[in-house]
């Protein structure tokens, strides 16, 4: 029983430390984000590598669905924790984001040809949360059910990788980035994945009010 407890602690510590290693923060984050009040969350650009024999149109539709699922999951995460975490910024309603982009002829298919500065101007926000998703499964439908205890602890059976980025709207500079491999330990679906990985990164999330207080004290 003691061995299992020690193993659990070791795994949890390893996961937490690994999360911190995969986080980048711009050394001038405070300078660039000083006037930030509202951020927009974009659908994630997705690359699916599936074994299914489907048309390019169907593949694009599936990639779009996965990308929007991450956008919605991030909004859900921030909404649930807004009061508890007391973020220093607001997050634009994703339905508003989609509507404004559509009114400006910007869709999932062509959003990648616009710069961060252009998108920020269109959406009238101070910063952009975006990212990339590489998958070999449909995460929105859940990870495979064939559970292996050994795979769980070793982190085998990877299903892809996700990268979350925050960029300054005025300069277009990358301010913060968090990358993570997706496997059986990551979560059972998109919402669970985002919830778990953001909790691991909570102490490093740059717009957390408490984190900013600690940073000011350190100076």
84-141 pLDDT, tens digit per residue, is 767 899 999 999 999 999 999 999 999 999 999 999 999 999 999 999 999 887 887 7
Contact 66, 47 (CB under 8 A): no
Domain boundaries, the chain: 2-218
Q: What is the pLDDT of residues 6-53, one digit of tens each?
A: 444 444 444 444 444 589 999 999 999 999 999 999 999 999 887 777
Helical segments of the chain, H only: 2-21, 29-33, 56-85, 94-103, 116-123, 149-154, 190-200, 209-218
pTM: 0.81
**What Rg value do the Cα atoms of the chain yield, rounded?**
18
Strands 45-48 and 127-135: parallel
Provide φ and ψ at 74, rounded to 5°. -65, -40
Contact 97, 149 (CB under 8 A): no
What topology is assigned to 2-218 in CATH?
Rossmann fold (3.40.50)
């Amino acid at each position: 029983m003691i061995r299992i407890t020690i193993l659990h602690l070791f795994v949890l510590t390893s996961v937490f430390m690994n999360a911190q290693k995969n986080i980048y923060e711009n050394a001038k984050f405070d300078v660039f984000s000083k006037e930030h009040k509202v951020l927009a969350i974009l659908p994630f650009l997705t690359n699916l590598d599936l074994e299914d024999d489907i048309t390019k149109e169907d593949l694009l539709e599936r990639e779009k669905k996965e990308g929007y699922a991450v956008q919605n999951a991030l909004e859900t995460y921030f909404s649930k924790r807004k009061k508890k975490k007391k973020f220093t910024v607001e997050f634009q309603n994703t339905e508003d984001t989609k509507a404004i982009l559509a009114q400006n002829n910007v869709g999932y298919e062509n959003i990648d040809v616009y710069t961060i500065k252009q998108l920020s101007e269109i959406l009238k926000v101070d910063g952009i949360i975006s990212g990339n998703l590489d998958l070999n499964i449909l995460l929105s439908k859940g990870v495979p059910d064939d559970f292996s205890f050994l795979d769980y602890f070793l982190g085998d059976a990877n299903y892809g990788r996700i990268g979350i980025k925050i960029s300054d709207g005025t300069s277009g500079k990358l301010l913060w980035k968090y990358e993570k491999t997706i496997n059986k330990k990551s979560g059972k679906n998109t919402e669970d994945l985002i919830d778990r990985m953001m909790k691991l990164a909570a102490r490093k999330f740059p717009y957390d009010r408490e984190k900013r207080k600690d940073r000011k004290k350190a100076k």
